A and B are shown apart, each in its own frame.
Chain A
Amino acid sequence: MIQLQKLVKTFDGHPVLNGIDMDITEGEIIVIIGPSGTGKSTLLRCLNFLEQPDSGQISIDGDTVDAARASKKAVLKLRRNTSFVFQNYALFANKTAVQNIAEGLMTVWGKPKAEALAEAQQILADIGLADKADSYPAALSGGQQQRVGIGRAMASHSKVMLFDEPTSALDPEWVEEVLQLMKKLAQRKQTMLVVTHEMSFAREVADRVVFMEGGRIVEQGPPEQLFSNPADPRTREFLRKVIRD
């Protein structure tokens, strides 16, 4: 369903992505792991053009965007086909929880206000925050904010949800509720691309785990295989460091 071909991104001449190829099938849950600064987040951000890749191609359902010369229209379409969950939640600070979720429905998908708010309210119920509809982000806990962030991403019914370290900024007490919500989405076969350091989540939920280092995909495979029998010494080294038990 989604293909990345030879995706390259450099920052000030310093290569961050060295030609990434990836095929994602519908309903697949992919978890990307690897040391920090290896381009995991950049890969996600290139997928919806929050960063413009230098070269390469992104295809979603046959719509191919050539990174080097992407038109505004193509970028907009790409963004409608994807949704993004930010590490720092990035909820719209001037809008309540329900407005955060309804915003895209109204302004991007053209739904009438009442309909958008009703749909947003349903999503809030789905993520267990129906009673927080009229709270502004500043009045929500980190975990609640991130769940609203996921709710906002759910609203666009996008083909793929991109999660950029969704639990890294959370106090430990809130991590579990966010992971639970992500598991719920995984059970519904929502296609997901998740950058995370939560190895137990990767082990339990991922269909495929991708290990990245130095802007390249070093190794990938089903979690059982990658975690218990990694082929590449770099993968082994990384897993030894992050999994202590």
Chain B
Amino acid sequence: MNFDVTYFLEMIPLLLGYLGLTMKMASLGLVFALILAVNMAVVRVLKVPLLDWLVQLFISFFRGTPLLVQLFLLYYGLPQMFPIMVGIDAFTAAVIGLSLHFSAYMAESIRAAILGIDKSQMEAALSIGQSSLMAMRRIILPQAARIALPSLMNQFVDMIKSTSLAFTLGVAELMARAQMEASSSFRFFESFLAVALIYWAVVVIFTQLQNRLEKHLNRAYQR
């Protein structure tokens, strides 16, 4: 075994320089995915005619096909059909792809969480004169957020890791850089171990944040 410790230790700070782009992709993806997911979940729970059907189709497609295929379709495929999309750069395409893909999973988590709220909460909101949309926003969704948090966090972790697929579109992010270094130095193990450890550390940090957030959201439910 010849593990090049020096090379490995040099790789870490070098790769960390690219973490910013990875996190930018993941956090933009998270924001857009959540906005989409909340709206789709509400459409499904309130069974809005037509929209409900469209949302089901959307979720079925984005859960039923691989993320990599979706990214390729979006970045390499669609611009051929719709020239207006030629100008979309790889980073934007990756963010769009990640958002759409994970919004499908998140919508289902949020929907399940909403359905887990006692129906008397909605009835009480209606009884004081709120519309069902306002009741969703003020009463149901804040409570559903607490229930959905663990699975949403899982999906966010999955999204952070999935940003590595963006290198196949040519985005110069963490994984792309590791791949580049590895193929020029032939130090594959050191390079990919370094990148693995960085992803791992990021995920561990977010899991810690999740625990704190859960405690915060649980404060209303303590006796």
A84 touches B220 (CB 8 A): no
A125 within 8 A of B: no
In the complex, given contacts A90-B123, A104-B129, what are 9 additional A-B residue pairs having Cβ atoms less than 8 angstroms apart? A79-B128, A82-B127, A90-B118, A90-B120, A92-B139, A103-B138, A109-B129, A136-B221, A139-B222
A82 to B123: give the CA distance in the assembly, Å: 13
> A-B pairs with the 4 shortest C-beta distances?
A104-B128, A84-B127, A90-B120, A108-B129
Return chain B residues, CB-CB under 8 Å to A94: 139, 142-143, 220
Tell whether A152 pairs with B128 under 8 Å between CB atoms, given A93-B121, A94-B220: yes
Closest to A50 in B: B123
Residues of A in contact, count (CB < 8 Å): 28
B130 within 8 A of A: yes
A108 to chain B, nearest CB (A): 4
Annotate A101-133 by CB proximity to B: 1 below 8 A, 0 otherwise.
Answer: 001100111000000000000000000000000
B154 to chain A, nearest CB (A): 23
A156 within 8 A of B: yes
Annotate A226-237 by CB proximity to B: 1 below 8 A, 0 otherwise.
Answer: 000000000000
Q: Is chain B's interface secondary structure helix, strand, loop, or mixed overall? A: helix
Annotate B129-164 by CB proximity to A: 1 below 8 A, 0 otherwise.
Answer: 111001000110011000000000000000000000
- Count: A-B pairs, CB below 8 Å: 73
A88 within 8 A of B: yes
Return chain A residues, CB-CB under 8 Å to B223: 138-139
Closest to A82 in B: B127
Return chain A residues, CB-CB under 8 Å to B221: 93, 136, 138
B220 touches A108 (CB 8 A): no
B129 touches A79 (CB 8 A): yes
B134 touches A107 (CB 8 A): yes
Closest to A91 in B: B124
B129 touches A156 (CB 8 A): yes
B81 to chain A, nearest CB (A): 41
Return chain A residues, CB-CB under 8 Å to B121: 90, 92-93
Annotate B100-131 by CB proximity to A: 1 below 8 A, 0 otherwise.
Answer: 00000000000000000010110111111111
